Amino acid sequence: MSTHKNEVVLSELSVRQLRARRRRLVARLPDVGGYLAGSLVEQSRRCGKSGCRCAGGELHGPYVYLSVGRAAGRRSLFYVPQTLAALVRRRVALTASVQQLLADISAINLELLARRELE
């Protein structure tokens, strides 16, 4: 039984209601030109210089990195300059919202397919 994020049981909706819900979800999809898949990681570091403040425990940073998946399960980190950190955060959030909308649309399409009403 498929459920929507608002706990609506999709199998209890009519085909017309499912299609209307799908249209509303599609209308909410933003411009995906800013799509940026990955997750943000903040790290603080020691530089290794003996006279530096970080030798006493106060680390440098935090520095922001974008973690993205690669083939064979390997991850890569890309440094995000402080001047771009807010923009990258917004774009990663956009990506998460797009993925959720697409998952909701897919659930509706699966329900329509199960009913042989997918168009």
DSSP, collapsed to helix, strand or coil, labels residue 117 as: coil
- Find the helix packing angle between 15-28 and 82-114, rounded to 10°: 170
CA distances from 108 to 29, 100, 103 (A): 15, 13, 9
Cβ neighbourhood burial of 111 (10 Å; 0-12, 13-18, 19+): buried
- The predicted pLDDT at position 2 comes to 52
Q: 24: pLDDT confidence band, cut at 50, 70 and 90?
A: very high
- The predicted pLDDT at position 53 comes to 86
Would you kindly state where each structural domain of the chain is located, as residue ranges?
10-114
The 10s digit of each residue's pLDDT in 9-19 is 998 999 999 99
Does the predicted model carry a pTM greater than 0.85? no
Residue 49 pLDDT exceeds 60: yes
From the list 119, 113, 108, the residue with the least C-alpha distance to 5 is: 108
Phi then psi for 29, rounded to 5 degrees?
-65, 125
